Structure formats: structure tokens, C-alpha cells
Amino acid sequence: MKTEKNFLKGSYTVEASVVVTVTMLVLASLILCTFYIHDRAAIQGIVCEAASVGSIFSTEEERKQAAQEVIGRMEESRFLGSRNLNGNAASGKREVTAQGSAEYPVPGFAAKYLSDGSLEIHKSWTSRIVDPADAIRKIKGAGELLTGGDS
């Protein structure tokens, strides 16, 4: 009878050690996934902001410079694990494009075989350039065509 009680107490210890180990691994994985998702969202936000800021200026050089300033702040942002942050912006006559990339290291020996030890993050955004004065002129012109020139 005494050995059965000792056996039961020992089995609880073994079960608890397995459950606690698995629980800790799952929690650590969830935290790492959350950090990865945060960094992806942060890069996407910076890229969107850069393209949007770049689209409000009138000359291509001003647009590119404004977008590059926002991209330059990427390295100052608070990333939770990403390394090798890169970003660039390009401006054309009709649109501004911004791109950002980073590497998120994945710890553990199994991850090194599955993902070469890191996950790649690539984000880009394109914003069309809209000239408000030109749009207003076109609307007024269409209105004059429809009404026959009457105000």
C-alpha cells in the first residue's frame, strides 16, 4: 500500500515536469511570434508613412527627400528583434514608392534548419501623387461642359 502512494506521487511529478516544459515552450514561442508580428507591422507603418509623406510635395526631389527622411527614422524605431534594417524610397511623376526590409532572428537549433536561422521581412507601399489644384481645374472644366458655361 505504501509503494502505491509513492508511485502516484512520483507520477504526478513526471507529468508536471512534462506539462510545465511544454507550457514554457509554447509561451516562449507565442512571445517570439508576437515580437515578429510587431516588427512586421512597424516596418509596414514606416513604409506607408514614407510613401504618403512623399506624395504631398510638388517636385520629385522634394518627394524623394521627404520619403527618405521617414525611411531614415526606421533605424531609430523600437523594433523588438529585427536586424539588418534597410529601406529606400523612389519618386516618379505619378507615384512615390517606399520599401523596407529586415531580418528577424529565430533562436533554437531546429529553426536554423527550417528557416536558416532568420525570417525575412519585406514590405513596400506605393502612393499616387494627386495634385489638388489640377483636380479642381478638371472638376470646374467638367462642370462648365455640363452646364454650358453657366455658373
19-64 tens-digit pLDDT: 999 999 899 889 988 999 999 999 999 999 888 887 777 777 888 8
**What pLDDT is stored for residue 133 in this prediction?**
78
How many structural domains are present in the chain? 1
Residue 122's pLDDT is 93
Q: What is the DSSP string of 64-128?
A: HHHHHHHHHGGGGS--SS-EEEEEEEEE-SSEEEEEEEEEEE--SHHHHHHHTTEEEEEEEEEEE
pLDDT, mean of residues 134-145: 84
Q: 36: closest CA among 104, 117, 125, 112?
A: 104
Residue 35 phi/psi, 5-degree rounding, is -60, -40
Complete edge-to-edge strand list for the sheet that includes strand 95-105: 83-91, 95-105, 118-128
Whole-number CA gyration radius for the chain: 28
Band of the pLDDT at 3, cuts 50, 70, 90? low
The dihedral through the CA atoms of 100, 27, 113, 106 has a sign that is positive
Q: Which domain holds residue 24?
A: 2-147
Across 63-69, average pLDDT: 84
Which candidate, 18, 14, 50, places its Cα nearest to that of 125?
Answer: 50
- The model carries a pTM of 0.73
DSSP-assigned letters across all residues of 19-38: HHHHHHHHHHHHHHHHHHHH
| Region of 79 on the Ramachandran plot (φ > 0 left; ψ -120 to 50 alpha; else beta) | beta
Distances from the Cα of 45 to the Cα of 32, 40, 87, angstroms? 20, 9, 12
Would the pLDDT of 102 be above 50?
yes
